[in-house]
Structure 1
Amino acid sequence: MSSPGTENVVIVGAGIIGVATAYHLSLLSPTTTIHLVEAAPTLFHSASGKAAGFLARGWFAPASAALGALSFDLHRKLAAEHGGGKAWAYSPSTAYSISDAQAPESAERGEDWLFQGTSRALMAGGGAQQRSGAPEWLAVGRAGETSGVEKISDPSGTAQVDPLLLSQFLLDQARSRGVQLHHPATPTGVVTSPSNALTGLTIRTADGAEQTLPCDSLILTAGVWTPRVFSTLFPSSSTRLPITQLSGYSLVLRSPHWAEDPYTDDSPRTSHAAFTTDPAAGFSPEIFSRASGDIYLAGLNTTDVPVADVGAHVVPEPREIARLKDVAKKMLGTEQLDILSEGLCHRPVMPTGMPLLTALSEHQTGVVGKVWVSSGHGPWGISMSLGTGLVLAEMALGKAPSADVSQLCL
């Protein structure tokens, strides 16, 4: 129970956006009672635990550029203060664009690559920097090829993390400061006063019991499930959140050409990101090395996989995983690959390709109260997580946000 006069904030959705919000809110306002509600039986079961973990500072459209830069700087600061190199495999990264000679040139920029299947290297600020050799854990690097290889970002503007480890760290830190986690628990409705003011949130726990959490401020960060949560909590509202899914297949693997970092000092080695074009593959592969010794391969996306209930196990299509394995062997130049995991996760996207981060009005919800929503980050959820969490926390406390997100609204 909260003390009389204490502000009660409920965050629905304990993915990386939700736990980052709880982390910052508990730092900024230690006296605020914070509840974190997650319906999935397994924490970080979707993109928050299965994404690439690539971070960029300046690869964003103008509307989200300030948020992207803020987030990148917060990632670097957090890692420096808490040993992120060891704790969640934070490392500076050098990014490359590797193009096939048969691939058509594209001058398109903006966020359309999300839905067209092209490489997000198109968003690298300033375009290609210089012709360069690729890292030697890639086949083209060991072959000494430079044709079609361009360095598009250096460690000052890109980095890498293990998103699952980062998510767990943020949650552990938040809980150590008193944030209450309700898991698994499904939000079932809001409670209002006779004057229609928001006063509580009802949840159903795993044993079927109903519980009411005091709630003065409500923050929705449920990823691709956010529209369903909104409709459940505000059934009379005519507002619809236009968030859909961009599902992505991935592999996490080990190669003899990229060994685990022994962490002999406090300066993590530089990891790498390679954004490629491969007409034979039929998609634009993205491959990332991590300081942990893992290699992450993705880029094979689809909008055809339906979104089941939150927490439902999603089984990757074997034929699509086989395509990724073929690309891995080609790009890494070896058959000696240890496949650690095969993944398929839903990433929330907006029609604009940019995230949603906004307050919802009484007209939109049908109740009097403070409600915020953030979702739709697409493949940039990990990169933008810390800035999104900070801005949401600041908004909930009535503070000026640290980044201009005025265009990230409905």
Structure 2
Amino acid sequence: MSATTVTPPTTGPHICIVGGGIIGVCTAYYLSLHPSLPSNASISIIEATAVASGASGKAGGLLAEDWHGGATAGLAKLSYRLHAELAQEFGGEKEWGFRKVDTLSITTDATGNSKKASPVDWLPRGTVLASRVLGTTATTSQVHPELFTKYLLEKFLEKPRTSLIHGSATGLALSDATTPESLTITTPSGASQSVPCTTLILAAGPWTGRVAEKLLPAKAAAKCKVDGQRAHSIVLESKEASSLSAHALFTDMTLQDGSSAEPEVYCRPDGTAYICGQSDNEPLPATTADVTPSPAAITTLHAQARTLSPHLDVSSSTGATVRAEQACFLPLSHRGTPLIGAVPGVKDVYVASGHSCWGICNAPGTGKVLSELVLEGKAKSANVTALAP
């Protein structure tokens, strides 16, 4: 899976996908499988830093089939099915921690003494005030997003005429001012290379808007407005490996001091718990390599985890150890829904970004429909008309 500067293809179309996160990788994968892909076509992923180094490597990985609004409901249903099919085909349970989970909403109060039974064994008695089912193993699942993305990338790179290029897309030459002709890529060392580019797909997560401004005419770039919001997470490994059950929890907590909190907790099959929350409005940095967490936000997440369960207490010799303390930026579009489709004002340029917290869930479906849009001119597997930029 080594990133490289490739020899530009001399014949045939060359599809360039800017962004090596889960959306870009899924798009590349499904393009490589599409029966209408010309035999002489090449596909390259261009990644500025490292594959799955943003939200694709630091998200929780919850998958939900039926939690989505009208604009994305069909896409989510398709994507949920594709996640299950990929897991069955490639052994996802072992390779990227795929499993079905029960998802609960729980209300807890650390200041009280509830008489209700805890719905989850590893939550202490006396703290759970209420719980309700949000999803069952029929409708909610999980993946480890970084492992999933990197595994699917390997499968993509097994196909002929595919490549991963390490560098930033810094310029786009257009023929007739509208059609991609070549893409300029600047490597981390500062060297530049021009590669043919007959189709361009922007899938750079929260950096998509910035990339569009660099590459596209102003009116076209304005249709690709995506920015980011920083969100924090910690990953804790329980010292009792079998203590954490196959649950995802959406919490409404009252802490010892009377304050409230709403962290989300996703237990993983490797004995870890992913705990997230604490979003803020920190400006989007230049690259994923420049993303750093707020120490205060990380401290707050640890306090919430410790209050929720002794199994998540890193200060206890029998609790947990820290596997990660991190932050990422969620991609948010100017419209509030993902942007998936052809970019108006230019030819053979597409965008796939702005999925917010649902990028992991909806990535396979996005890749599938985008492969259809690019190679057939129409999305057939799901109706994404409302998501067109």
Q: TM-score under structure 1 normalisation?
A: 0.83
For residues 206-254 of structure 1, the C-alpha deviation after alignment (integer angstroms, 9 at most, x for no partner) is: 2322212211111000000001100000254364233221211101011
**Correspondence for 1:278 among 247, 250, 253:** 253
Is 1:2 aligned with 2:2? no
Aligned 8 A contact 2:108 2:127 in 1: no
- Structure 2 Cα separation of the partners of residues 326 and 151 of structure 1: 25
- Structure 2 Cα separation of the partners of residues 392 and 9 of structure 1: 12
Moved over 6 A (4+): none
Amino acid at match of 2:131: V
**TM-aligned CA deviation for residue 169 of structure 1:** 0.5
Structure 2 partner of 1:39: 48
Structure 2 partner of 1:21: 27
Is 1:135 aligned with 2:120? yes
For residues 170-226 of structure 1, the C-alpha deviation after alignment (integer angstroms, 9 at most, x for no partner) is: 11111111321111x111111223575321111112232221221111100000000
- Structure 2 Cα separation of the partners of residues 100 and 146 of structure 1: 4
Is 1:255 aligned with 2:233? no
Structure 1 partner of 2:181: 199
**Correspondence for 1:340 among 313, 323, 326:** 323
Aligned 8 A contact 1:200 1:216 in 2: yes
- Structure 1 Cα separation of the partners of residues 307 and 177 of structure 2: 64
- Structure 2 Cα separation of the partners of residues 283 and 243 of structure 1: 28
- Structure 1 Cα separation of the partners of residues 334 and 179 of structure 2: 32
- Structure 1 Cα separation of the partners of residues 156 and 229 of structure 2: 29
For residues 140-176 of structure 1, the C-alpha deviation after alignment (integer angstroms, 9 at most, x for no partner) is: xxx2876411122111100011111001001111111
Residues 385 and 132 of structure 1, relative CA distance in 2, 3 Å threshold: farther
**TM-aligned CA deviation for residue 290 of structure 1:** 0.7
- Structure 1 Cα separation of the partners of residues 157 and 100 of structure 2: 28
Structure 2 partner of 1:213: 195
3-state secondary structure, aligned to 1:182: strand
- Structure 2 Cα separation of the partners of residues 138 and 235 of structure 1: 54
Structure 1 unmatched ranges of 5 or more: 103-130, 262-269
Structure 2 unmatched ranges of 5 or more: 1-7, 111-115
The equivalences for 1:319-398 within 5 A come to 319-334=296-311, 335=316, 336-362=319-345, 367=346, 369-398=347-376
Aligned 8 A contact 1:260 1:291 in 2: no
Aligned 8 A contact 2:342 2:349 in 1: yes
Percent identical pairs in the alignment equals 35
Amino acid at match of 1:35: S
Is 1:307 aligned with 2:292? no
* Greater strand fraction, Structure 1 or Structure 2: 2
Amino acid at match of 1:7: P
Name the count of aligned residue pairs.
362
Structure 1 partner of 2:93: 85
Aligned 8 A contact 2:239 2:321 in 1: no
- Structure 2 Cα separation of the partners of residues 238 and 35 of structure 1: 22
Of residues 46-55 and 200-209 in structure 1, the stretch that sits farther from structure 2 once superposed is 200-209
Structure 2 partner of 1:50: 58
Aligned 8 A contact 1:251 1:340 in 2: yes
3-state secondary structure, aligned to 2:385: coil
Amino acid at match of 2:122: W
Is 1:75 aligned with 2:83? yes
**TM-aligned CA deviation for residue 330 of structure 1:** 1.3
Q: TM-score under structure 2 normalisation?
A: 0.87
For residues 90-119 of structure 1, the C-alpha deviation after alignment (integer angstroms, 9 at most, x for no partner) is: 0101000002479xxxxxxxxxxxxxxxxx
Is 1:244 aligned with 2:227? yes
- Structure 1 Cα separation of the partners of residues 153 and 220 of structure 2: 34
Amino acid at match of 1:168: K
- Structure 1 Cα separation of the partners of residues 243 and 18 of structure 2: 36
Structure 2 partner of 1:296: 274
What is the CA RMSD across the aligned residues, in angstroms?
2.3
Aligned 8 A contact 1:160 1:271 in 2: no
Residues 98 and 351 of structure 1, relative CA distance in 2, 3 Å threshold: farther
Structure 1 partner of 2:155: 173
3-state secondary structure, aligned to 1:67: helix
**TM-aligned CA deviation for residue 38 of structure 1:** 0.7
Amino acid at match of 1:82: F
Structure 1 partner of 2:387: 408
Aligned 8 A contact 2:107 2:128 in 1: no
3-state secondary structure, aligned to 2:270: coil
- Structure 2 Cα separation of the partners of residues 311 and 95 of structure 1: 30
- Structure 1 Cα separation of the partners of residues 109 and 302 of structure 2: 22
